[in-house]
Chain A
Amino acid sequence: MTMDSMPTRGRKRRRNGGVGPGLRDFPTFKAVSYLVFVFLYLPLVVVVAYSFNSNRVVSVWRGFTFSWYSEVLGNDDIQRALFNSLRIGVVATIVSVVLATGLAIGLLTMARAGRTFAWTLIGAPLIIPEIVFAIGTLALFVQSRIPLGVNAITLAHIAFCVPFALLPIRARLRGVDPAVYEAAADLGAGEFTIFRRMTLPLLAPGIVAGALLAFIISLDDFIVSYFLAGPGGTTLPVYIFGMIRNAVTPGVNALSTLMLVASILIVSLSYLLARKRR
């Protein structure tokens, strides 16, 4: 009966991280954490909410409407931009995943110097300021007379998609017991058969997770695409930037909402994939 008489006190304390009378909690930290979460999600919520705003003036709320979605989806320019984005995203994803898979495997057996060099190259797009990477690529393409546009953007995207594709693949590869390969070799499989029948299936979840991440990174990229777009290479973010710069209508919010939803769905999928098959 003593157990029944004090569960409320007990339960309250246990919520404090499980151990001790709240010794793991510091005053105000919980409040700050909640505020940070509000801060992180506020912009997403605002864009989604204002995409239903019937007022032509973006920032003043008037009433509820769905009309911006139909307007956006019916717009030819937006459809073209969407097509460009998807094409760039798909090609950049495929190529970067192939390169990243090769790198993940190659890194295991590279000598120390080679590994350091490769890691520097892989990490560079994450450290170099994006603007420098963008204008550097622009200068390279102009210098080597590669025309700007969809293909130029694709080439650049591949470079900075590689690190994002690489991380989940590498994590997966590290978890594989090398004895699996030895067993396959012992059973008579050759190098290529081992790769096709062992390595690839084992890496598959990592490869899919990496591909999804690479795809979002490409889809959401603005700065590099903006400098390499040329006349015919407008992608969705570049188009949105134009809308923000020139005529801000709630159509921007509708289009943005669609992109946000796509990104969140894809990253959630990647997260679930990476977790599930552990």
Chain B
Amino acid sequence: MKAPWSATARQRRQAGQGSWWSGLPGVVYLIALVFLPLVIIFVYSFLSRAKLGVGVKWQFSLTPYTELLFSESLSGGRSFDPTYLQIIANSFWYAIITSVVCLVLSIPIALWLATRAPERRTALVFAVTIPFWTSLLIRTYSFIIILNDNGPINGLLKGIGIIDEPIAMLYTPFATVVGLVYTFLPFMILPIYASAERFDFRLAEAAYDLGAAKWTVLRRIVLPSIRPGIIAGMVLVFIPALGSYLAPELLGGGKTSMIANVIAAQFGASRNWPFGAALSVLLLVITLLVLVIFAVVAKRASRAAGRGGWEALI
């Protein structure tokens, strides 16, 4: 019997190792609840809008995709409408800012963590991960308290007399970026830390010995060595940031919609499922493209570094 799933007969017969088919229920379940939903979204994106808005009408249509670029006036005429393009551009912009801010914050802390004594290090790394395991909704909501006009930050600034009027921070793009950075920071810190921990500090010592001062050692020796971690971190931050929903929803005050908020609206108040599906397909395609680009960059980087890099990391 040579099922495509099974490994060689010898491997399969090894005592107690179990068999490939024990993974079958999991695979079937994931096909049904991960793969199938994506297929349905893809199909829906080529159908027409249902009368009442919930669900779809089974009639082929390309309208969901043309709606991305054109709006239909009441008279039936089409005109170019950059609203959604703008939102896609916004999403990219926010994702880029978020990744860069996360990177700038993560390199120092990752290196700092990696140079602590081993016992303290484990505890500190765990401390970095704890917030990640608490409810994102609650953490994002907390910034409503922190950033609002009467919140602790404005209170503090007023208290020490720096400002008279509160600074409007909540419901601005700034609040959205703060929320996004907060959400994804651990995803940048951890892979960079993993690289930094493996960095051989004897290389830094050799560089010092050859006359390099601190920042030169950082720039020319340490950063190139932790590049696999940086690339992995960029993937892990940029891609989910692109599809973020909660931070812009709760902190942006409707002024900073990202793709995910528009998708959600199509399945909620706006009631245009095919269009929401088309946007989802677009978001997925963008996600995959970005993933491929990063993979190519990473491969080139690891080849340049002389040994396998980021594949080992993930």
Contacts and interface: CB of A to CB of B under 8 A. Distances in A.
Contacts of A118: 23, 26-27, 30
Given A107-B23, A137-B37, 7 more contacts: A40-B186, A105-B22, A139-B41, A140-B36, A240-B135, A252-B141, A256-B138
B59 to A, nearest CB: 15
Interface residues of A, number: 108
A105 B23 contact: yes
A108 B18 contact: yes
13 contacts: A24-B115, A33-B109, A44-B131, A58-B145, A59-B149, A129-B245, A136-B38, A219-B135, A220-B133, A240-B138, A260-B134, A263-B134, A264-B133
Interface of A: 17-20, 23-30, 32-33, 36-37, 39-44, 46-47, 50, 57-61, 98-100, 102-111, 113-114, 117-118, 121-122, 124-125, 127-133, 135-140, 142-143, 155-156, 158-159, 162, 178, 180-182, 184-186, 189, 191, 194-195, 198-199, 213, 216, 219-220, 222-223, 227, 237, 240-241, 244, 248, 252-253, 256, 259-260, 263-264, 266-268, 271, 275
Interface stretch (B63-71, B75-83, B279-287, B299-307): B279-287
B130 A267 contact: yes
Given A29-B111, A121-B31, A181-B16, A132 B6 contact: no
A182 B13 CA distance: 11
A60 B20 CA distance: 59
Given A60-B150, A103-B23, A110-B23, A194 B15 contact: yes
B72 interface: no
The 3 closest A-B pairs by CB, nearest first: A106-B23, A129-B243, A181-B16
B115 A135 contact: no
Which secondary structure dominates chain B's binding surface?
Answer: helix
A255 B131 CA distance: 17
Given A129-B242, A181-B14, A37 B137 contact: no
Name the residue among A36, A58, A139, A180 with the largest chain B CB count within 10 angstroms: A139
Interface in B133-186: 133-146, 148-152, 155, 182, 185-186
